[in-house]
Amino acid sequence: MKTLKNNRILLGLFVFLLSCEPDDICLTSIEDTPRLIIGFYDKNTGELKEVTNLKIQGHDNEEVYIFQTLDSIGIPIKNSDNLTTYSLTKDFNENTLNSGNNDNLHINYSYNWEYISRACGFKTTYELTNLIIENDSNNWILDTDLINNNIIDEKNIHVKIFH
CB nearer another protein, residue 27 or residue 97: 27
**Helix (H) / strand (E) containing 36:** strand 36-41
Least CB distance from residue 126 to another protein, whole Å? 12
Residue 100 CB coordination number (10 Å): 17
Least CB distance from residue 148 to another protein, whole Å? 19
Least CB distance from residue 79 to another protein, whole Å? 5
CB nearer another protein, residue 40 or residue 111: 111
Is 54:100 a contact under the CB 8 Å cutoff?
A: no
CB nearer another protein, residue 35 or residue 49: 35
Least CB distance from residue 51 to another protein, whole Å? 19
Which contacts of 78-83 are long-range, i.e. CB under 8 A and separated by 24 or more positions?
Answer: 78/111, 79/33, 79/111, 79/113, 79/124, 80/111, 81/111, 82/108, 82/109, 82/110, 82/111, 82/129, 83/107, 83/108, 83/109
Least CB distance from residue 143 to another protein, whole Å? 26
| Site for another protein, rule CB under 8 A | 3, 6, 9-10, 13, 24, 26, 30, 32-33, 35, 58, 61, 63, 65, 76-80, 84, 113, 116, 118-124
CB nearer another protein, residue 24 or residue 47: 24
Which residues have C-beta within 8 Å of that of residue 79, sequence separation ≥ 6? 33, 111, 113, 124
CB nearer another protein, residue 61 or residue 69: 61
Q: Return the amino acid letter for 91.
A: D
